[in-house]
Amino acid sequence: MFERRDIVDLVLTSEQTMIRNEAAELARSLIAPRATGIDRTGEFPSDNLSALAQHKLMGIPFPTECGGRNGGHVSYAIALEDIGKACASTGFILGVHIMSAFCVYLFGNNEQKRRFLVPMSSGNKLGGFALTERTSGSDPSRIRTTATLKGSEYVLNGDKCFITSSGHADIYVVFAVTDPSKGTKGISAFIVERGYEGFGFGKIEDKLGLRAAANGELIFKDCRAPEENLLGTEGDGFKIALSAIDRGRIGIAALGVGIAQAALDSSKTYAKQRAQFGQPISNFQAIQFMIADMATEIEAARLLTQKAAWLADIGERFTKQASMAKLYASEVAMKATINGVQIHGGYGLLKDLPIERYMRDAKALAIIEGTSEMQRVIISRDELK
């Protein structure tokens, strides 16, 4: 007899269904038609985010008293799948926004939640997550940005790179070293708002995929943040980052499922329409087998993602499951989009069709928020302990 905690309820509640339907309709009617254009220009999708805010989709997991929808991780994952299916850049921006808001929700005091989480959850303010530096990607212990308490302010110095929504986000959760002698236990987290003295922005990277997500540099030169903007206590930063990234990986997994589903849908439509040797190519077993594999692997990725989200919602440990979902969904997205390009033949190489964009966006998912190799390290450590 299984214990209740071992059984995932796959039946969506009425609220979860409502959130999924709202996200799907918004993605179909507004976000999808703009996706190709912003991919080509790199334009930040502010209009998409405003629409998500109007539909109260910027704070899905958070309680209503914090400005959110009280939907939890499962609702967030299923909504992000549909948004990512339409436009991975928009979905990725939303995922990072939610991840940064979780830092405030989980570790902020009541005043910080009032000042920062409520406007983030309601969509009035966009959040950014500032951990990565040139010397520290998979190894956060090597961050060099410092924060020194001087009077009633922390003075931050250093640079961050590849930060999503750079220059567009209003509220950034910034990780900096407060005590270099303590390693990861000397890292702290701070809320830094755009416009603070000494806080600036560098170049936006020209990327292969997720081109509209505005990944760029943050520059701190004697940036002054009020002491009350410290999240938790000094030394809590590494714990805060890992907790947020676990949740972020659920978001990346949901994006992977969405991209893969978009590739499958496009491939099915094309295969039924494209005729060769007097019949649709969907009649050929080689195509049918690719479609079958794509559909099966996408469903498995979706279930892994929902399992991790469900565990997070019921308060169980979910680090390994989030890594499994992120690892598998990102690699399924890559495989599905490569097969999708193959099914489209020569047309799959053209920017006139979205399938090549799906492939470029999918590649990013195996790298961001922890590479596939790092996910395997996390999973194997848990399995072998």
List, by residue number, the catalytic residues: 369
Residues with Cβ < 8 Å from 111, sequence gap 6 or more? Answer: 228
Q: What is the DSSP string of 34-94?
A: HHHHHHHH----HHHHHHHHHTT-SSTTS-GGGTS---HHHHHHHHHHHHHHH-HHHHHHH
Cα–Cα distance between 237 and 190 in angstroms, integer? 8
For residue 30 the two structure tokens come to 């507004």
How far lies 115's CA from each of 53, 192, 212, in Å? Answer: 18, 12, 28
| Cα 198 → chain centroid | 28
Cα–Cα distance between 320 and 227 in angstroms, integer? 35
Angle at 46 between CA 45 and CA 47, to 5 degrees: 90
Are 341 and 363 in contact, with CB atoms under 8 Å apart? no
How would you classify the pairing of strands 127-130 and 171-177? Answer: parallel
Are 344 and 355 in contact, with CB atoms under 8 Å apart? yes
